[in-house]
Chain A
Amino acid sequence: MAMLHTVNKSPFERTALQSCLGHALEGASVLLFEDGVYAAMQGTAVSAQVSEALGKVRFYVLGPDLRARGLREDRVIDGIQVVDYDGFVDLVTSHDNVQAWL
């Protein structure tokens, strides 16, 4: 059954995103929030890896954390869905389990 993975650390400072992508199975969802949102942006050192993973897992990014950091939604990688806190809750309740890559 589908798992929700959350990543709240910057992909340039920690290996949380790497571990997450290494363990996320086909059909799983990944929610990027707090400093994890930097992984959602186009043109970064990890964007190719995230784009590739989009073929296997669904990606979501928390809008309030993007806006806090001055990151524009139109520069989020295509295919990543921007959600708000209600969307975060919906993701948690609609998945069987949550793994937080802290």
Chain B
Amino acid sequence: MALEVNGKVIETDEEGYLANINDWTPEVADAMAKADGVELTDNHWEVINFLREYYDEYQIAPAVRVLTKAIGKKLGKEKGNSKYLYELFPYGPAKQACKYAGLPKPTGCV
């Protein structure tokens, strides 16, 4: 599969995750979200940016449980819960947000 962003063709796997993590730009995230019918807000970006920083430091996409706890610590309790995260990313916070962040699918996520 592929995605077209600003006239550039970007390769993805069959589930829409980037084939090459280095292809990511914020425009790529917007294009992926648009294809899902989602408009990215600042609240989405907080999570996406958090995931990118986490990946940069640890070389993995965190499991949803780990993500929820870490978001709570960083952005406050009202955001560190699954209800808030599932409202932002109804297809599953780890899965959908990781996709927009250009990361591989989280380890252990089905």
- Is A in direct contact with B (CB under 8 Å) within the complex? no
